[in-house]
Structure 1
Amino acid sequence: MANPGNVARGLKGAMANPNNSDEAKERVAQRLHQMEESGEVDSAEAHAGQVERGHKAAISNPNNSEEAKQHSKQVLDDLQS
């Protein structure tokens, strides 16, 4: 069986794809809504994980300013407390 998180990501990608019809996007949105309501996926939890990974990446990115890196460190500290 497919990982529900991967399925949800695929559904979100299908909704964002401009090549998909409006009807297909509506079916995809309904399926994603069903998954969220049934508890198969937790959007808030998934979002929090994405935020954390993004800030970790920002800290190690040599193109980011020290100010941006400090902000990301602060956000990560706040998330862990």
Structure 2
Amino acid sequence: MSSSVTGSSMANNQIRGHKAAINNPKVSEDAKERSRQAMEELSQTDEAKYISEGLQEQKDPVRQNAGYKATLSNPQVSEEAKQHAREVLEESDAL
């Protein structure tokens, strides 16, 4: 693993991997149980609990707005999604 991977992103990746294994119908019950136990151990730390609950750092608003603007020009996106993107951009005064 690269030395540029931080502890929090490594814990985040581990949690995501265990969640995927638990929800994968092709994974044996024994493996799912091992993933549940591993997630329980990972959740003992405050940082891992914070990540597993989905309370990650706030994303960069500039990049978020860029994604919403891309949504508006993508012909494969539904009109409902485009309307949501417009509303978000109007709220952030980025449109």
* Structure showing the higher helix proportion among its residues: 1
Give 3-state SS (helix, strand or coil) of 2:27's partner: coil
> Match of 1:8?
15
Separation in 2 of the partners of 1:52 and 1:38?
23
Structure 2 residue ranges without an equivalent (≥5): none
> Which structure: larger Rg?
2
Separation in 2 of the partners of 1:39 and 1:10?
19
Structure 1 residue ranges without an equivalent (≥5): none
Matched, 1:31 2:48: no
The sequence identity of aligned pairs, in percent, is 24
**Structure 1 residue runs of 4+, over 3 Å off?**
48-53, 70-74
Give 3-state SS (helix, strand or coil) of 1:20's partner: coil
State the superposition RMSD in angstroms: 3.2
> Residue 49 and residue 24 in structure 1: after superposition, are their counterparts in 2 closer, same or farther (change >3 A)?
same
Separation in 2 of the partners of 1:49 and 1:71?
23
> Match of 2:82?
65
- Tell me how many residue pairs correspond in the alignment: 70
> Residue 52 and residue 40 in structure 1: after superposition, are their counterparts in 2 closer, same or farther (change >3 A)?
closer
TM-score w.r.t. structure 1 length?
A: 0.59
